[in-house]
């Protein structure tokens, strides 16, 4: 009976995850030496590392996926989330690239700026985004520059006339880099206080009056402390995106501020991070059969009625992208003209 149950499990795996060759090699008693057993995560725990602290958008989406991913993997493993904040998400990203196990049991949600930081040659990244195995994107991410109601700043024009203190995370994060670029290109007067552990800590600092503005994803803005919107405690002055999000179409996109093609290319380089969004990666060197299984499980989880119900209940947005397409998109993100890179480095120099 035990042998028959094992064969049945392979049959299910063959139907859901096309691993026919592996199952066949297992089913044949006289299989050759060295033949691989069927992929099975039974009894294992998969850890999704969030590169930021609890309460922020990265961790919220990691939790969303963790609840449903295991049901679509062979052996139905447990899936847990571990936070690893620091250095604007670089601590987590570097851990995934260089330390994490390469057997499919460790995944990560990395900063959407991973490609930009690499393209600019920053010292923090110790990875190559082209060698990471991109499993899939849970949601694209439109980040919005927000100011507190007491700041006196309600628009980009106001930010050009009056200094406003912003809270930021790590040196390569969009919360630090984008205001710096806008100061140089557009003439805003943002003053960034960097070093906060994550967006949740910046939110607390803003409410306490320590800072006057924050960069938060729109998906988080409307679900975490939504009363700030309803009570007009925050003003949305700019969205860091290639195009305006349809839900906030009256808020200008950062590329709308460009005066010429060079500025538009530069701003588009940074805004491309919104397309990476909240994405799941596996470390380099994970066997291709495992990567394929993880990608199929991810796609299945994102259409799972239980996950859709979770999304509807929470009010979160999802905008999934398959791993293969995400892998190609990330590679393109760092393939930009040298002149644009040189221009970008003037505003966000490598450290």
Residue 131 belongs to domain with CATH number: 3.40.190.150
Full domain range(s) for residue 303: 45-140+277-347
Rounded to an integer, what distance in angstroms lies between the CA atom of residue 51 and that of residue 117?
Answer: 15
pLDDT at res. 319: 87
pLDDT over 80 (residue 186): yes
Whether the per-residue pLDDT at 67 is higher than 80: the answer is yes
DSSP for residue 253: B
| Whether residues 174 and 101 fall in one domain | no
Say whether pLDDT at 123 is over 80.
Answer: no
Structural domain contains residue 168: yes
Q: Taking 70 as the threshold, does the pLDDT of residue 172 lie above it?
A: no
Domains in the chain, number:
2
Of residues 349 and 84, which shows the higher confidence score? 84
Angle between helices 57-69 and 305-314 (to 10 degrees): 150
Residue 153 CA: distances (Å) to CA of 65, 117, 158, 203, 236 = 37, 29, 5, 17, 10
- 134 with 281, same domain: the answer is yes
Partnered with residue 236 across adjacent β-strands are 146
pLDDT digits (tens, 9 = 90+) for 277-336: 999 999 999 999 999 999 999 999 999 999 999 999 988 889 899 999 999 888 877 877
Question: Are 151 and 228 part of one and the same domain?
Answer: yes
Show which of 243, 268, 293 is a domain's final residue. 268
pLDDT at 2: 37
pLDDT given for residue 25 in this prediction = 37
Q: How far is CA 299 from CA 157, 271, 302, 327, in A?
A: 43, 25, 5, 15
Indicate if 155 and 113 belong to the same structural domain: no
| Residue that finishes a domain, picked among 245, 268, 291 | 268
Co-location of 190 and 236 in the same domain? yes
Lowest mean pLDDT across 8-22, 42-56, 175-189, 212-226:
8-22
Mean pLDDT score across all residues of the chain: 86
Residue 6 lies in a domain: no
pLDDT of residue 35: 53
CB distance 166 to 180 below 8 Å: no
The residue ranking higher by pLDDT, 43 or 224, is 43
Give the 3-state secondary structure percentages of the chain, helix then strand then coil, rounded to 5: 45, 15, 35
Tell me, yes or no, whether 259 lies in a domain. yes
pLDDT band at 18 (very low <50, low <70, confident <90, very high): very low
In this predicted model, which residue has the larger pLDDT, 270 or 129?
129
Q: Please tell me whether residues 205 and 115 are part of one structural domain.
A: no
- Answer whether residue 25 is part of any domain: no
**Residue 22 burial (CB < 10 Å; 0-12/13-18/19+)?**
buried
pLDDT tens per residue across span 233-289: 999 999 998 778 888 999 999 999 999 888 888 888 888 788 899 999 999 999 999
Q: Is residue 319 part of a domain?
A: yes
Supply the pLDDT for residue 13.
36
Residues 156 and 221 both lie in one domain = yes
**Residue 37: inside a domain, yes or no?**
no
17 or 182, which is more confident = 182
Instruction: Label residue 41 by pLDDT band (50, 70, 90).
Output: very high
CA 100-141-345 angle, 5° bins: 75
Per the CB < 8 A criterion, the answer to whether 162 and 189 are in contact is: yes
CATH of residue 197's domain is: 3.40.190.10
- Do 123 and 159 lie in one domain? The reply is no
Residue finishing a domain among 217, 236, 268: 268
Cβ proximity of 166 and 173 under 8 Å: no
Q: In whole angstroms, how far apart are CA 81 and each of 47, 94, 106, 216?
A: 6, 17, 10, 21
Please tell me which residue, 16 or 203, carries the higher pLDDT value: 203
Q: Are residues 240 and 155 in the same domain?
A: yes
Predicted confidence at residue 348, as pLDDT, reads: 61
For residues 158 and 241, state if they share a domain.
yes
pLDDT for residue 36:
62
Q: pLDDT higher for 113 or 204?
A: 204
Tell whether 303 and 155 lie within a shared domain: no
Q: What is the mean pLDDT of residues 56-62?
A: 92
Residue % of the chain over a pLDDT of 90:
59
> Are 249 and 285 in the same domain?
no
Which of 9, 68, 114 minimizes the C-alpha distance to 297? Answer: 68
Residue 9 domain flag = no
Q: Does residue 12 fall inside a structural domain?
A: no
């Amino acid at each position: 009976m035990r042998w028959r149950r094992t064969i049945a499990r392979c049959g299910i795996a063959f139907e859901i995850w096309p691993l026919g060759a592996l199952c066949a090699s297992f089913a044949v008693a006289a299989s050759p030496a060295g033949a691989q057993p069927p992929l099975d995560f039974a009894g294992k725990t998969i850890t999704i590392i969030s590169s930021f602290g609890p309460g922020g958008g990265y961790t919220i989406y990691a939790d969303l996926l963790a609840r449903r991913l295991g049901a679509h993997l062979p052996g139905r493993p447990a899936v847990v989330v571990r936070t690893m904040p620091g250095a604007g998400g670089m601590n987590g990203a570097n851990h995934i690239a260089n330390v994490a196990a390469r057997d499919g049991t460790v995944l990560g949600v990395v900063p959407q700026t991973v490609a930009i930081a690499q393209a600019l040659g920053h010292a923090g990244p110790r990875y190559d985004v082209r060698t990471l195995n991109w499993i899939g994107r849970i949601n694209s991410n439109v980040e919005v520059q927000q100011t507190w109601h007491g700041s006196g700043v309600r628009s980009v024009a106001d930010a050009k006339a009056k200094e406003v203190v912003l809270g930021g995370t790590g040196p390569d994060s969009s919360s630090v880099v984008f205001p710096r670029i806008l100061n140089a290109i557009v003439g805003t007067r943002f003053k960034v206080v960097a070093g906060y552990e994550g967006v949740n800590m910046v939110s607390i600092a803003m409410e306490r009056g320590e800072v006057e503005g924050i960069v938060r994803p729109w998906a988080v803005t409307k679900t975490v402390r939504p009363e700030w919107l309803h009570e007009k405690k925050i003003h949305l002055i700019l969205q860091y995106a290639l195009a305006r999000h349809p839900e906030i179409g009256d808020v200008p996109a950062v590329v709308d501020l460009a005066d010429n093609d060079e500025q538009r290319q530069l701003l588009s380089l940074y805004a491309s991070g919104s397309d990476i969004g909240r994405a799941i990666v596996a470390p380099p060197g994970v066997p291709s059969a495992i990567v394929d299984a993880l990608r199929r499980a991810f796609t299945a989880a994102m259409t799972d009625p239980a996950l859709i119900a979770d999304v509807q209940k929470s009010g979160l947005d999802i905008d999934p992208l398959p791993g293969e397409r995400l892998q190609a998109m990330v590679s393109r993100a760092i393939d930009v003209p040298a002149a644009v890179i040189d221009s970008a480095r003037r505003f966000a120099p490598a450290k």
